[in-house]
A and B are shown apart, each in its own frame.
Chain A
Amino acid sequence: MIPQFVHLLGYPFVQHAIAAGVVIAIVSGLVSRFVVARNMAFAVHALAELGFTGAAGAILVGSSPLSGLLAGTVVTALFIGALGARVRERDAVVGVVMAFGLGLGVLFLTLYQAYGTQAYAILFGTITGVSRGDVVLLVVLGVVTLVALATVYRPLTFATVDPEVAEARGVPVRRLGIVFLLILAVAVAEAVQVVGVLLILTLLIAPGASAERLTAHPGRGALASVLVALLSVLGGIALALLTNLPASVFVTSLSFACYLAARFLVGPWLVGEGRAGPRTSAGGAVRT
């Protein structure tokens, strides 16, 4: 199996998939921490599904699905950001917008007949089918997203975990929320390349949710989240190449396995060792 895989590494399409996969995994790993902490699973889903609408529309008018996908996620992000300030309001807006957008997607799907494989690719991902041009675009977008995220990292963390004090200290909490939605929009468009619209949460929730179970240390948590995403994406690509099954099958299984391991095996063990969890010495009382 190993020699077979090494042989595959010689093919450009494999190299493209791996290059894009690494960048996408790093972006997903870091962004998913904030998605989990900010309770934005629903928003992620809406961004992805409206990305689908955008991609379907782009195919219909003969332009590239990736640009349509990006347009869909970014417009949705701006819409949610403009209309939904509070969490409850945000969920309501997301629900309303998502239903409408998906309806449009169905329309595009019906209008364009020879459409089956491309729709399937957007819904379930085709990382092993990305072109050279797409790889360049994905890497550039990924790097831009990482730079943006690094710029707002501290105040975004502050606004996420402690909005009242953050606001008092002059952090622009509301505007950072919109900036994060835009970062998320690009991250979603990237992750859709690997796992598709319908399985998006496997890359934008599972890594962050796993890391949260392993450590409360911010740096180590971010690292753990990125490692889970890398393992899922690269493992998924490798297994897909070896078996000829879609990568999303393996990416979702691997990220699920990581979450289970973090939650039930490694996490409890780390807490038992007193490394990740609260200390149980006198005065450091643990409330469970």
Chain B
Amino acid sequence: MPPAAVRFEHATLAFQGHTVWRDLSVAFEAGSFVAILGPNGAGKTSLLRVVLGAVALDAGRVEVLGGPARRGNSAIGYVPQHHGFDRDLPLRGRDLVRLGLDGHRWGIGRPDRAADRRVEDAIRAVGAQEYADAPVGRLSGGEQQRLRIAQALVGEPRLLLCDEPLAHLDLRHQREIADLVGGWQRRTGQTVLFVTHDINPILPLVDRVLFVVRGRWAAGAPEAILTSEQLSALYESHVDVLRVRDRIIVVGDTADAGFEIEEPHHLPHVGGERHATEAPR
């Protein structure tokens, strides 16, 4: 059995007295593509921040690439939640990618052919050559997201963390970004943790699913976790999981509105305490 890239053991995270998730024990094998699913506020982003070493667990332990989670681990690539860059920000796509390579180093940075080449390769790998010299704030969401992925991959990470990289993108761009990440993962055999509301754009890529709902969690192969029984148990309420063509649709039972058909990227909140476990970002 290959060693785990990320392993949680009895891990509990709380924010201001609210438990985000508790007693999480799960190991993600090196080389796997893991989807982290759950409604808003389930602590998906916090989970990535724990892996990044930016947030400490309240109990239990986490192991990342064979060691403790620590800040500035250069073996980790990170694509944060998309917020868009200011239109006038004096930064080209190329500069954004370059920061991913040596932005953490002190000094001004001297001309470095080898670094230039790595940046160029990363830009080409995501197909961003056309607009790599444009101000990054003037690019579309999909273009910015490609550059962000190039930024995360330019350091040749062994673990890639993506936080909702498909949010705010249309279907075509969702598929393109998913293919970029999936293609990289297959080519290099590295590990991806992919936080998303909607599993459908990445369904063919996913090996494992971690589903988090209001402090509870379930992990396993997608076909084992994304079932009516599993999700009903997690939500403590009746949930139907439908497979329509190649898509998975989750239909929740909400206390106020009776049955409500929701898009899968709006997984149901159950009951009245919507924000009971919402974690600050």
Q: Does B78 contact A (CB under 8 A)?
A: yes
Interface residues on A, range: 35 or more
B72 touches A170 (CB 8 A): yes
- Which residues of B in the span 63-114 have a Cβ within 8 Å of any Cβ on A? 71-74, 76, 78, 80-81, 85, 88-92, 95-96, 99-100, 102-109
- Which residues of B in the span 4-26 have a Cβ within 8 Å of any Cβ on A? none
CA distance A153 to B85 in the complex (A): 20
Q: Does A216 contact B (CB under 8 A)?
A: yes
A278 touches B135 (CB 8 A): yes
B105 touches A154 (CB 8 A): yes
Residues of A contacting B103 in the complex (Cβ-Cβ under 8 angstroms): 154-155, 157-158, 162, 166, 169, 171
Q: Does A167 contact B (CB under 8 A)?
A: yes
Q: Does B139 contact A (CB under 8 A)?
A: yes
B135 touches A154 (CB 8 A): no
Residues of B contacting A288 in the complex (Cβ-Cβ under 8 angstroms): 138
Of chain A, the residue at the smallest CB distance from B92 is A216
Residues of B contacting A158 in the complex (Cβ-Cβ under 8 angstroms): 99, 103-104
Q: Does A235 contact B (CB under 8 A)?
A: no
Q: Does A279 contact B (CB under 8 A)?
A: yes
CA distance A216 to B86 in the complex (A): 12
Across the interface, A212 reaches (CB within 8 A) one of B74, B78, B88, B107, namely B88
CA distance A213 to B88 in the complex (A): 8
| Contact digits for B48-76, partner A, Cβ 8 Å, 1 yes 0 no | 00001010000000000000000111101
B134 touches A284 (CB 8 A): yes
Residues of B contacting A166 in the complex (Cβ-Cβ under 8 angstroms): 99, 103-104
Q: A157-B99, A165-B100, A216-B90 are in contact. Are A287 and B108 (CB under 8 A)?
A: no
CA distance A277 to B109 in the complex (A): 24
Least distance between A52 CB and chain B CB atoms (Å):
31
DSSP majority for the B interface?
Answer: loop
Across the interface, A161 reaches (CB within 8 A) one of B54, B76, B91, B138, namely B91
Q: A37-B90, A154-B109, A165-B80 are in contact. Are A278 and B139 (CB under 8 A)?
A: yes
A286 touches B134 (CB 8 A): yes
Residues of A contacting B91 in the complex (Cβ-Cβ under 8 angstroms): 161, 216, 218
B99 touches A33 (CB 8 A): no
Of chain A, the residue at the smallest CB distance from B102 is A154
CA distance A285 to B140 in the complex (A): 8
A167 touches B54 (CB 8 A): yes
Q: A152-B106, A277-B135, A279-B131 are in contact. Are A287 and B96 (CB under 8 A)?
A: no
Q: Does A61 contact B (CB under 8 A)?
A: no
Across the interface, B108 reaches (CB within 8 A) one of A150, A221, A282, A286, namely A150
- Which residues of A in the span 150-181 have a Cβ within 8 Å of any Cβ on B? 150-155, 157-158, 161-162, 164-171
Q: Does B170 contact A (CB under 8 A)?
A: no
B134 touches A279 (CB 8 A): yes
CA distance A221 to B91 in the complex (A): 10
Residues of B contacting A279 in the complex (Cβ-Cβ under 8 angstroms): 130-131, 133-134
- Which residues of A in the span 214-237 have a Cβ within 8 Å of any Cβ on B? 215-218, 221
Q: A216-B91, A217-B92, A286-B138 are in contact. Are A164 and B107 (CB under 8 A)?
A: no
A168 touches B90 (CB 8 A): no
Least distance between B182 CB and chain A CB atoms (Å):
21
Q: Does A283 contact B (CB under 8 A)?
A: yes
Residues of B contacting A278 in the complex (Cβ-Cβ under 8 angstroms): 131, 134-135, 138-139
| Contact digits for A170-205, partner B, Cβ 8 Å, 1 yes 0 no | 110000000000000000000000000000000000
A168 touches B80 (CB 8 A): yes
Across the interface, A164 reaches (CB within 8 A) one of B76, B80, B136, namely B80
Q: Does A48 contact B (CB under 8 A)?
A: no
Q: Does A281 contact B (CB under 8 A)?
A: yes
Q: A168-B76, A285-B140 are in contact. Are A161 and B106 (CB under 8 A)?
A: no
- Which residues of A in the span 128-157 have a Cβ within 8 Å of any Cβ on B? 150-155, 157
Q: Does B40 contact A (CB under 8 A)?
A: no
Known: A169-B74, A171-B72. 19 other contacts (CB 8 A): A37-B89, A151-B107, A153-B108, A157-B99, A162-B103, A165-B99, A166-B103, A168-B78, A169-B72, A169-B103, A170-B104, A211-B90, A216-B90, A216-B92, A278-B131, A278-B134, A279-B134, A284-B131, A284-B134
The 3 closest A-B pairs by CB, nearest first: A170-B72, A278-B134, A158-B103
Residues on B facing A (Cβ under 8 Å): 52, 54, 71-74, 76, 78, 80-81, 85, 88-92, 95-96, 99-100, 102-109, 130-131, 133-136, 138-140, 143, 151-152
29 contacts between A and B (CB under 8 A): A33-B90, A152-B106, A154-B102, A154-B103, A154-B105, A154-B106, A154-B108, A158-B99, A158-B103, A158-B104, A161-B89, A162-B99, A162-B103, A165-B80, A165-B151, A168-B52, A169-B103, A169-B104, A170-B104, A218-B92, A277-B135, A278-B131, A279-B130, A279-B134, A282-B130, A284-B131, A286-B134, A286-B138, A287-B139
